[in-house]
Structure 1
Amino acid sequence: MTQQLDNYPGSRLLEGLSSYTSLQVDQLNFIASQVFALGLATLYRTVLSPAKVSPSVRHSFGLIFGLWMGYFCFGYQALHLAALPAVCYLVILTQNPAIMHGAVLFTAMLYLSLVHLHRQFLDDSSLDISGPLMVITQKVTSLAYSLHDGTVKERESLTENQKYHAVDKLPSVLEFFSYSLMFPSLMAGPVIFYKDYISFIEGQTLTPTKKPTTSMQKVIVHEPSLNRVVFQKLILGIVCALVFVLFLPAFPISRLKDDNFIENTTFSYKFWYLTVATTLVRTKYYFAWTLADAICNNAGMGWDGTNWNKFSNVDIFKFEFGTNLKESIDAWNRGTNSWLRFIVYGRVQKYSTFLTFGLSALWHGFELGYYLTFMSGALFTIAARTVRRHLRSHFTSSSESKLLYDLITFATTRFVMAYLTFPFILLEFWPCIAVYAKLYWIVHLLALLAVYAIPRFLPKALPGEEVQQNGIAIALKKAGPYSEAMGKVD
């Protein structure tokens, strides 16, 4: 038995199954807890629906089984699941509301950072407590900022997103801890903002089919059918898991550390291998997030009025087939993107991109591979934005040139994503630097060139210029004969 398993503090009830699968007991516990949560979600949605029980019962149910799942998977480490939100709740109660949100962010990130450091230097558990703590950190900090927006700031000064999430009343102890630890999203997310959680608990997200005729009559709600959606997401998750298990062993990311790979493979092969290996690794995240999404849906969470994807953490199609870096980034870990936009990107005036990527790196941990990915990501995002502003308008004069532009940007995005994300997976600093060196830092150099050279040699299209290139005569005819004459004069 490996040292890793010797140190594992969670339940060993399923340890005997490890010999029949390629999974270790911690991974089996994760899958078992999610399957159990899927069954509990049905009970949550039906027997404990908002029309049948009080919000307190629903809060308590989600909290109790969240704590049980935490103990099943992490043993004594589950104390951290309660300790982090407890410390943050104390900060909310004791600090000046004007600075409370920043104090909660500092406290939660400090606690999470200490856990990351413990995992990195003292503990080799592959599935440790930091994963759920990362989600809890997102929840308590977003709630703190929502409270700040709802109790301190003038409503007129808020953005539409901030107005939507603003909370003007301190949650009770039960509400706060049930929100932080509810079982559907504890193990793998997604992060759910507090107002959306309360709407779910009280049944406000469901569509009334009959209005009450008296103040004593209950509202009859119609819950959109979700069996097909849950089944589809389960099948998709299983397919992703099978792809990961069957094909990743042929393309291990650890091969990037092999001297033979570094020294004796061609430039093009390295890029090809990075693309295949990182794509296969992503299927692990697709499995976990799709399964978590199915659990939330089965509990009745995620309906946005048209579909069940309100809290989906990933849009696989948009990520894999996005035609620009922003589109792919926005489709990946969408809950974290929303959290970062809410507490950083939408609130700072200067260096918002770098600060957002920096907080994301710190939230993930202290392995240097994270920082290579996120700092490079900030540079590449700015470069991609610059290229789009200055170059795209020159390809919109016809549908053929627009298609050519999209095909080029699609292929470029695929290679850039592989080049950008492999340090996030490999994590080790010097092996990543060795790979980048053998690739001549090509994407970094092109990104710097794009940021500093393109604006000087290729001016940005003026407002309306793109329309003119795409057919000014049509626009002038719609505007009337006087405008058409003016166009001829110009």
Structure 2
Amino acid sequence: MATTMDHYDGFRTFSWFADFVGLPIDQVNFVLTQFTALILAGLFRSSLSPIAATPAARHVYGLIIGLALGYFCFGRQAIHLASLPALCYVAMRTQNPRNMQRVVLAIALIYLSCIHFQRQIYDYGSYTLDITGPLMVITQKVTSLAYSIHDGLTRREEELTPMQRHQAVQKIPTTLEYFSYIFHFQALMAGPIIFYRDYMDFIYGHHLPGSKSLTIFYDKNSQEKEIVLEPSPTLVVVKKVVASLACAIVFITFISDFPIQRVKEDEFLKNTSMLYKMWYLMLTTMLSRFKYYHAWLFADAICNNSGLGFSGYDERGKPKWDLTSNVDVYKFETSLNLRDSIESWNKGTNLWLRSIMYERAGRNKVLFTYALSAFWHGFYPGYYLTFASGAFFTVAARSVRRHIRPLFLESQRKKTFYDILTFITTRIVMAYMTFSFILLEFMPSIKVYLYLYMFPHLLGLIAIILPPRLGLSKKAHKQSAEIDLSETISNGNAHKTM
């Protein structure tokens, strides 16, 4: 198994171990690099803390390890890890800041698209680890940085949204700062995107908002300095590693019993009921998510073990380590509506899409945001079916929430009934939306739609057209407006898209 992957350029030093455990060499290399990064992250936090080491030393440490791990996993393909950000850095240095961000976005997306096309030509439909994954994260980094520089150099502070104001950058990074940010090992392999300002705060030790003071000392110039007590991430790291490994075990154990490829078989399409088809889609898409849970939880643990990801203290005084969390597994699997599901999944990408597209687009924000997300993922037809359905069902869900939900808020019994109904509906819609993302192919996905009579699509169309024409009472409209306002304030405009 480990020696039949002709298109994999990574090191094959541990092929013997891959054969022993029965896993492809690319997956073994990925796991080995992540465990190595986890160990080295602990050394980063203990031996190269902001107090013990200079920012330059911390930059160099993260950069060298990231380059080494990237070369180990991808071999000759690692040249793309340097080429894309190098071209974008030249653009940042040479272009007018007023339009530089668009140039960087174009360069990054065109380069990434070429690699996506190449992958689809030589290894269509394969899930072999290749350079596209890290390049997608690097694309997020360079484009978000370009827009942050644009905001910091060309726009007034009052013109910026709170998120843009926080991420604004007033000077172009030095070469070391830039490439350290791009290649830092904590998030190179599986993300998530770490925004430049957050990364620099981490490097300089300013990443401890609300940290508790330990003591005060004076330097040679009698200038008062404060030493802060950094909370230990050990318990959080252990929990996330255990949860990550549990997700990997679930995925490896059960995915072979519910392969997504079965939905292409005539026996499955013709000889099973509509209810069973929907149940199977729910199971196979849920199991596929466990692969992402494993990668993202482990990546979050690596970040936390290096000290990256601390976001302050909660109301009970307990430290929070969720700044780099890319997924909220419990919230996603128990969400009562599509919006909460989307917010809990791939949160770093959500923030990236929000910062460079959703908050900057004029009309058709949802459409443009989903289009960028699809283009960034690649060119498999299944991606576009998923994101087109995502935009459609987002509009449908908003219509239901605005016009139907207020009618069920008159009593706790009605609200409970509504919550149960939306919980089930969300599970069905999420499976119906995302199976094509995993299947990748166009015609097989369309066949599944047709054998399901496109029933969810029809219900979504009814939800968009009918409720606004039902003539809800003024009371319902007032309730809906009050609910939307309170939730917008509490969630910080959480109606962002994938």
If the TM-score is normalised by the length of the shorter chain, which range does it land in?
over 0.9
Superposed, 1:27-42 pairs within 5 Å as 27-42=27-42
Superposed, 1:34-433 pairs within 5 Å as 34-123=34-123, 126-206=128-208, 207=211, 208-213=213-218, 215-216=222-223, 218-306=225-313, 307-433=320-446
Whole-Å separation in 2 of the counterparts to 1:127 and 1:467: 46
Aligned partner of 1:486 in structure 2 is: none
Q: C-alpha displacement at 1:122, in angstroms?
A: 2.0
SS of equivalent to 1:300: coil
Contact 2:403 2:467 in 1 (8 A): yes
- Residue identity matched to 2:283: V
Whole-Å separation in 2 of the counterparts to 1:363 and 1:11: 27
SS of equivalent to 1:280: helix
User: Aligned pair in 2 of structure 1 residues 173, 451: CA closer, same or farther (>3 Å)?
Assistant: same
User: Aligned pair in 2 of structure 1 residues 293, 228: CA closer, same or farther (>3 Å)?
Assistant: same
SS of equivalent to 1:349: coil
Between 1:200-209 and 1:259-268, the stretch displaced more is 200-209
Contact 2:26 2:73 in 1 (8 A): yes
- Residue identity matched to 1:428: E
How many residues align? The count is 470
**Cα-Cα RMSD:** 1.8
Contact 1:397 1:469 in 2 (8 A): no
- Residue identity matched to 1:359: L
Contact 1:389 1:461 in 2 (8 A): no
Whole-Å separation in 1 of the counterparts to 2:286 and 2:265: 20
User: Aligned pair in 2 of structure 1 residues 250, 221: CA closer, same or farther (>3 Å)?
Assistant: same
Q: C-alpha displacement at 1:462, in angstroms?
A: 5.3
- Residue identity matched to 1:55: P
Contact 2:381 2:441 in 1 (8 A): yes
Superposed, 1:15-34 pairs within 5 Å as 15-34=15-34
SS of equivalent to 2:351: helix
Whole-Å separation in 2 of the counterparts to 1:24 and 1:195: 37
Q: C-alpha displacement at 1:464, in angstroms?
A: 7.6
Aligned partner of 1:485 in structure 2 is: none
Contact 1:243 1:280 in 2 (8 A): yes
Whole-Å separation in 1 of the counterparts to 2:104 and 2:475: 44
Contact 1:396 1:469 in 2 (8 A): no
Whole-Å separation in 2 of the counterparts to 1:373 and 1:293: 26
Q: C-alpha displacement at 1:22, in angstroms?
A: 2.8
1:240-285 CA-partner distances (Å, limit 9, x unpaired):
0000011111000110111111111110000000001100110000
SS of equivalent to 2:70: helix
Q: C-alpha displacement at 1:5, in angstroms?
A: 1.2
Q: C-alpha displacement at 1:96, in angstroms?
A: 1.2
Whole-Å separation in 2 of the counterparts to 1:64 and 1:211: 34
Aligned partner of 2:486 in structure 1 is: none
Q: C-alpha displacement at 1:221, in angstroms?
A: 2.0
Whole-Å separation in 2 of the counterparts to 1:369 and 1:83: 29
User: Aligned pair in 2 of structure 1 residues 194, 440: CA closer, same or farther (>3 Å)?
Assistant: same
Between 1:438-447 and 1:454-463, the stretch displaced more is 454-463
User: Aligned pair in 2 of structure 1 residues 467, 84: CA closer, same or farther (>3 Å)?
Assistant: closer
Contact 1:248 1:277 in 2 (8 A): yes
User: Aligned pair in 2 of structure 1 residues 229, 469: CA closer, same or farther (>3 Å)?
Assistant: closer
Q: C-alpha displacement at 1:210, in angstroms?
A: 3.2
- Residue identity matched to 1:179: Y
Q: C-alpha displacement at 1:209, in angstroms?
A: 3.0
Whole-Å separation in 2 of the counterparts to 1:218 and 1:31: 41
- Residue identity matched to 2:243: L
SS of equivalent to 1:225: coil
SS of equivalent to 2:8: coil
Contact 1:390 1:458 in 2 (8 A): no
1:384-427 CA-partner distances (Å, limit 9, x unpaired):
00100001111111111111111110010000000000000000
Whole-Å separation in 1 of the counterparts to 2:75 and 2:329: 33
User: Aligned pair in 2 of structure 1 residues 4, 444: CA closer, same or farther (>3 Å)?
Assistant: farther
SS of equivalent to 2:52: coil
Q: Determine which structure has more spread, i.e. the larger CA radius of gyration.
A: 1
% same residue: 51
Whole-Å separation in 1 of the counterparts to 2:227 and 2:456: 57
Q: C-alpha displacement at 1:71, in angstroms?
A: 0.4
1:354-401 CA-partner distances (Å, limit 9, x unpaired):
100010001000000000000110010010001000011111111111
Between 1:445-454 and 1:236-245, the stretch displaced more is 445-454
Contact 1:10 1:75 in 2 (8 A): yes
SS of equivalent to 1:219: strand
Between 1:7-16 and 1:329-338, the stretch displaced more is 7-16
1:323-357 CA-partner distances (Å, limit 9, x unpaired):
00000010000000000000000111201001000
Whole-Å separation in 1 of the counterparts to 2:437 and 2:203: 36
User: Aligned pair in 2 of structure 1 residues 273, 398: CA closer, same or farther (>3 Å)?
Assistant: same
1:124-155 CA-partner distances (Å, limit 9, x unpaired):
66100000000010011000000000000111
> When you count helix as a share of all residues, which structure comes out higher?
1
SS of equivalent to 1:46: helix
SS of equivalent to 1:209: strand
Whole-Å separation in 2 of the counterparts to 1:99 and 1:6: 42
Q: C-alpha displacement at 1:459, in angstroms?
A: 3.2
Contact 1:391 1:458 in 2 (8 A): no
Contact 2:2 2:25 in 1 (8 A): no
User: Aligned pair in 2 of structure 1 residues 77, 348: CA closer, same or farther (>3 Å)?
Assistant: same
Structure 2: runs of 5 or more not aligned:
314-319, 484-498
Whole-Å separation in 1 of the counterparts to 2:272 and 2:186: 45
User: Aligned pair in 2 of structure 1 residues 149, 462: CA closer, same or farther (>3 Å)?
Assistant: farther
Contact 1:45 1:300 in 2 (8 A): yes
Between 1:38-47 and 1:447-456, the stretch displaced more is 447-456
Contact 1:63 1:182 in 2 (8 A): yes
User: Aligned pair in 2 of structure 1 residues 346, 85: CA closer, same or farther (>3 Å)?
Assistant: same
